[in-house]
Amino acid sequence: MRKEVRAILVTGYGINAERELAEAFRQVGCWVETSHLGDLIQVPDQILGAQILALPGGFSFGDHLGSGKVMAHILKQKLKNRIEKFIRQGGLVLGICNGFQILVKMGILPNVDGACRQEVSLIHNESGMFVDRWVKVSFNSTNPSPWIKGLSEEWYPIRHGEGRFITGTRVTGDTLQELNLIALTYAEENPNGSELGVAGITDRTGRVLGMMPHPEAFLIPENHPWWPRKKIPKEAGLQIFRNGYEYARGIV
Q: Is there a catalytic annotation at residue 18?
A: no
**Per-residue CA distances from 133 to 78, 130, 157, 170, 246 (Å):** 35, 10, 5, 33, 30
pLDDT tens series, the chain, 252 aa: 456 999 999 999 999 999 999 999 999 999 999 999 999 999 999 999 999 999 999 999 998 888 999 999 999 999 999 999 999 999 999 999 999 999 999 999 999 999 999 999 999 999 999 999 999 999 999 999 999 999 999 999 999 999 999 998 889 999 999 999 999 999 999 999 999 999 999 999 999 999 999 999 999 999 999 999 999 988 899 999 999 999 999 875
- For residue 235, tell me if it sits in a domain: yes
CATH number of the CATH domain containing 233: 3.40.50.880
- For residue 10, tell me if it sits in a domain: yes
Candidate list 119, 162, 214, 224, residue with the active-site label: 214
Range(s) of the domain holding residue 152: 6-249
- For residue 1, tell me if it sits in a domain: no
Q: Is there a catalytic annotation at residue 30?
A: no
- For residue 122, tell me if it sits in a domain: yes
Distance of CA 29 to the CA centre of its chain: 19
Candidate list 97, 154, 160, 162, residue with the active-site label: 97
Angstrom distance (rounded) from CA 107 to CA 43: 22
**Whether the Cβ atoms of residue 196 and residue 176 lie closer than 8 Å to each other:** yes
Instruction: Provide the edge-to-edge strand list for the sheet that holds 6-11.
Output: 31-36, 6-11, 52-55, 92-96, 208-211, 198-202, 182-186, 131-139, 153-160
Beta bridge partners of 31: 6
- For residue 76, tell me if it sits in a domain: yes
Candidate list 20, 119, 162, 216, residue with the active-site label: 216
Please count the structural domains in the chain.
1
Q: Is there a catalytic annotation at residue 116?
A: no
- For residue 242, tell me if it sits in a domain: yes
